[in-house]
Amino acid sequence: MKKRIYISFVIAILVIGAGLGHVAASLYSTEKTTSYHDLASYNSQSRTSVLNGSPQTPVIKSTSTKAFNLQKVFGSNLAAKSESQKLILMYQSLSELPQQAVSSLIEEVDSLENVTPEDKALWLVMLISRMAEISPELSIELVNNLTSENLKARGLPLDKNFVMKTIFTIWAKHSPQQALQHLLTDTQYDADYLTLIFRHWAAKSFEQALRAAKALQEHTLESYYGMVEGSYQASHFQQLIPFIQAQQSDELSKKLFRQWTFFDALSAAQWLADNTKVDEAQELKEAMFSGLVREDFNYAIEWYFANTNDSFTRPAFAGSNFYMFIRPQQFAQVIDWLLLQDFSVFGHNSWVHKIEYDVARNTLKYDIDLVKRYAAQIQDNRRRNELNLSIYSALAKQDPTSAKAFIVELGLANNAEFLKIIEAIDFRLNTPCMGFCY
Question: Is 253 inside any structural domain?
Answer: no
Query: 195 and 229 in contact (C-beta within 8 Å)?
Result: yes
Spatial distance between the Cα atoms of 288 and 181, rounded to a whole number of angstroms:
36
Rounded to a whole number of angstroms, the CA Rg of the chain reads 30
Nearest in space to 108 (alpha carbons), one of 123, 86, 90: 123
From 174, 189, 207, the end of a domain falls on 174
- Inside any domain, residue 129: yes
Which residue range is the domain that position 129 belongs to?
1-174
Q: What is the phi/psi pair of residue 362, to 5°?
A: -70, -30
Whether 244 contacts 253, CB under 8 Å: yes
Q: At what angle do helices 351-363 and 331-339 cross, to 10 degrees?
A: 130
User: Which residues of the chain are modeled with pLDDT < 50?
Assistant: 1-9, 12-68, 436-438
pLDDT of residue 77: 67
Residue 343 has what DSSP assignment? G
**Is 45 within 8 Å of 55 (Cβ atoms)?**
no
Residues contacting 215, CB < 8 A, separation 6+? none
211: left (phi over 0), alpha (psi -120 to 50) or beta: alpha
Q: Are 246 and 216 in contact (CB under 8 A)?
A: no
- What pLDDT score does 173 carry? 93
Q: Which residues contact 428 (CB under 8 A, 6 or more apart)?
A: none
pTM of the model: 0.72
Number of independent structural domains in the chain: 2
Cα separation of 174 and 164, whole Å?
16
Residue 22 lies inside a defined structural domain of this protein: yes
Residues 6+ apart with CB under 8 A from 209: 176, 198, 201, 202, 227, 230
Q: CA-to-CA distance for 5 and 12, rounded, in angstroms?
A: 11
pLDDT of residue 56: 37
Of 30, 14, 167, 28, which is closest to residue 93 (Cα–Cα)?
A: 28
Size of the chain, expressed as the number of residues it contains: 438
pLDDT of 319 reads 84
Q: Which amino acid is at 334?
A: V
Rounded to whole angstroms, the Cα distance separating 343 from 350 reads 9
How many Cβ atoms are within 10 Å of 105's Cβ, its own excluded?
25
Q: How far apart are alpha carbons 177 and 129 in whole angstroms?
A: 19
Per the DSSP assignment, residues forming a β-bridge with 60 are 42
Phi, psi of 42 (to 5 degrees): -55, 145
- 3-class DSSP assignment, residue 141: helix
Q: Is residue 246 part of a domain?
A: no
| Cα–Cα distance, 30 to 22 (Å, whole number) | 16
Three-class SS state of 248: coil
pLDDT at 47: 35
The count of other CB atoms within 10 Å of the CB of residue 395 is 20
- Residue where one domain finishes, among candidates 174, 209, 226: 174
Is residue 270 assigned to a domain? no
The domain boundary residue, chosen from 156, 174, 192? 174
